[in-house]
Amino acid sequence: MATATPTGSPAQGLDTYKPGTTITDWRPEDESFWQSTGRKVANRNLWISVPALMLGFVVWQVWSVTVVKLGDVGFGYSKSQLFWLTAIPGITGGTFRILYTFIGPIFGERKFTAFSTIILIAPMLWLGFALQDTSTPYWEMALIAAVCGLGGANFASSMANIGFFFPKREKGNANGMNGGLGNLGVSVVQLVAPLVITAAVLFAPAGGPLKSKKTGEDVWLQNGAFLWVPLLVIMTLLAWFLMNDLKVAAAPFSEQKIIFKRKHNWLMTWLYVGTFGSFIGFAAALPNLINTTFTPINSAYSATTYAWIGPFIGALARWGGGWLSDKMGGARVTMLSFVGMGVALVVVIGALPHSGDNGNFWVFYAGFLVAFLFCGLGNGSTFRQIPVIFRNQHLKEAAGKGPEANAAALKQSEMEAGAVTGFSSGIAAYGFFFIPAMFANFPVVNSLWVFVGFYVTCLAVCWWFYARKGAEAPS
């Protein structure tokens, strides 16, 4: 067990900071500790968390590219059914994110990261076998899609965990890096899956091909699922043997549930629904939206060729949003993101087919790329706002009560910020479900105008509570 050390002194009991251990003495705000021990340990955990989270997003989003090819190889599902297969993982992903938020700190994030990664092998194997048989019933495909949603749940526990490792001045950058590079899993699967299904790259054990109705060529759809299985095994082992559990991050649900009484939990959840909900929903829906909206560019290959670039931009922008928020304040960046998202969607609306014309695909596409850019900035800035808001509020309440009260306030703020981060990400993940579902059941134009109106409410909330002069919780 680590020996407690005075503030400003070097870390003691350095064996407790080795990979695979539980750390009981963690003081990132102590500059001496941070420079001698903390930074190295924190970065090691971060750089294992990133690819593990990326694979979670791969599993979560695999259906966004899988559905585009189903009809071509003989699966007789309707347009509405295909949209629903894209949307279903959003339901389970969002629901389990809420659960994962509170489970991770109970069992320890190292152990939980390993567990939540290895269980993703099951839906990838199941999907790979189901895709080899065009008689697979729709209900089974829907069930597989639901289980794939577990991949999206990993985000909640991962982001809550990484925030504990870094000092206040670096939280935005660290969370932006973890979330942003983790979000790249959306682009990775949308880019790689269409490539690996065109050849027997996994050889005989992966099974035989189906025939494309359009080209007559062989298609190995199962490769888009089987490819990730060995990578999931590797990341599980790395997480188990190289990450750490933080004792300071451990908290029973009885302590974490206090966030449901915090006003700023609900307000920041509202804002994060606007940023991440849009990002993940647009990423899930865009390949099929391109494929069904623009007849001149409606081949499955074209849809998957263009769709991945938007999430790629959004993921990198998330990292930039966290970094920029550390420099100029999260609330300002969040407001900028909602203005940009709203304007971008107005451009998209103007480029859609209407009155018998074919619309303008390239303007539509450019508008969505800009929307992804601002979604990403807002994803990074909102997650920088959360720890700042809770830290400042708890320290204000502890002011003048002595160092012990101050230390207790810091610990409480870290716990609540982690729980709010996970909870808000869970609610926002339902955007994965609602956006494809809206496109499946309502005119695309009407759906996009609803999103623009929602961004206006987010802009008002952010300005009033966090950005204006005299705001209740400037962040």
Query: In this structure, is residue 6 part of a structural domain?
Result: no
- Looking at residue 307, its pLDDT comes to 79
What are the distances in angstroms from CA 402 to CA 8, 78, 315, 396, 399?
18, 66, 42, 12, 7
* pTM for the full predicted model: 0.81
Residue 386 maps to which CATH number?
Answer: 1.20.1250.20
SS3 (DSSP) at 373:
helix
Question: In this model, does residue 39 exceed pLDDT 90?
Answer: yes
Q: Let me know how many helices (H) and strands (E) the chain has, helices first.
A: 20, 4
Query: In this structure, is residue 5 part of a structural domain?
Result: no
Taking Cα atoms as reference points, which of 213, 210, 201, 117 lies closest to residue 157? Answer: 117
> What mean pLDDT comes out for the span 263-286?
93
Share of the chain above pLDDT 90, in %: 44
- Looking at residue 7, its pLDDT comes to 44
- Looking at residue 15, its pLDDT comes to 61
Query: In this structure, is residue 1 part of a structural domain?
Result: no
Question: In this model, does residue 203 exceed pLDDT 70?
Answer: no
Query: In this structure, is residue 473 part of a structural domain?
Result: no
Question: In this model, does residue 11 exceed pLDDT 60?
Answer: no
Question: In this model, does residue 254 exceed pLDDT 90?
Answer: no
Taking Cα atoms as reference points, which of 85, 122, 115 lies closest to residue 99? Answer: 115
Mean pLDDT of the chain: 87
- State how far the Cα of 378 lies from the Cα of 331, in Å rounded to an integer: 9
**If you ran DSSP here, which 8-state letter would residue 252 be given?**
-
- State how far the Cα of 247 lies from the Cα of 411, in Å rounded to an integer: 11
**Residue, of 460 and 175, whose pLDDT is higher:** 460
Q: Which of 192-201, 289-298, 393-402 has the lowest mean pLDDT?
A: 289-298
Query: In this structure, is residue 2 part of a structural domain?
Result: no
- Looking at residue 373, its pLDDT comes to 97
State the pLDDT confidence band at 14, using cuts at 50, 70 and 90: low
- Looking at residue 301, its pLDDT comes to 42
Residue-range definition of the domain harbouring residue 198: 14-467
**Residue, of 139 and 360, whose pLDDT is higher:** 139
| Alpha carbons within 13 A on the beta-carbon side of 23 | 27
| Alpha carbons within 13 A on the beta-carbon side of 226 | 20
Query: In this structure, is residue 241 part of a structural domain?
Result: yes
- Number of structural domains, the chain? 1
Bridge partners, residue 210, by sequence: 219
- Looking at residue 424, its pLDDT comes to 92
Query: In this structure, is residue 174 part of a structural domain?
Result: yes
- Looking at residue 300, its pLDDT comes to 43
State the pLDDT confidence band at 249, using cuts at 50, 70 and 90: low
Mean pLDDT is highest, among 35-39, 201-205, 228-232, 283-287, for 228-232
Q: If you compute the radius of gyration of the chain from its CA atoms, what whole number of angstroms results? A: 23
- Looking at residue 231, its pLDDT comes to 97
> What mean pLDDT comes out for the span 339-357?
92
Question: In this model, does residue 13 exceed pLDDT 60?
Answer: no
State the pLDDT confidence band at 337, using cuts at 50, 70 and 90: very high
**Residue, of 474 and 105, whose pLDDT is higher:** 474
> What mean pLDDT comes out for the span 129-143?
95
Amino acid at 392: N
Taking Cα atoms as reference points, which of 58, 195, 76 lies closest to residue 127? Answer: 58
Taking Cα atoms as reference points, which of 141, 116, 108 lies closest to residue 127? Answer: 141
SS3 (DSSP) at 215:
coil
> What mean pLDDT comes out for the span 296-322?
75
Any idea of the CA torsion for 253, 148, 227, 183, to the nearest 10 degrees? -60
Question: In this model, does residue 211 exceed pLDDT 50?
Answer: yes
- Looking at residue 47, its pLDDT comes to 94
Taking Cα atoms as reference points, which of 153, 155, 159, 183 lies closest to residue 93? Answer: 153
Q: Which of 5-14, 156-165, 226-235, 346-355 has the lowest mean pLDDT?
A: 5-14
Query: In this structure, is residue 366 part of a structural domain?
Result: yes
Question: In this model, does residue 5 exceed pLDDT 90?
Answer: no
Question: In this model, does residue 4 exceed pLDDT 50?
Answer: no
State the pLDDT confidence band at 236, using cuts at 50, 70 and 90: very high
Task: Please say whether the beta carbons of 243 and 178 come within 8 A.
Answer: no
State the pLDDT confidence band at 10, using cuts at 50, 70 and 90: very low
Share of the chain above pLDDT 70, in %: 93
**Residue, of 289 and 282, whose pLDDT is higher:** 282
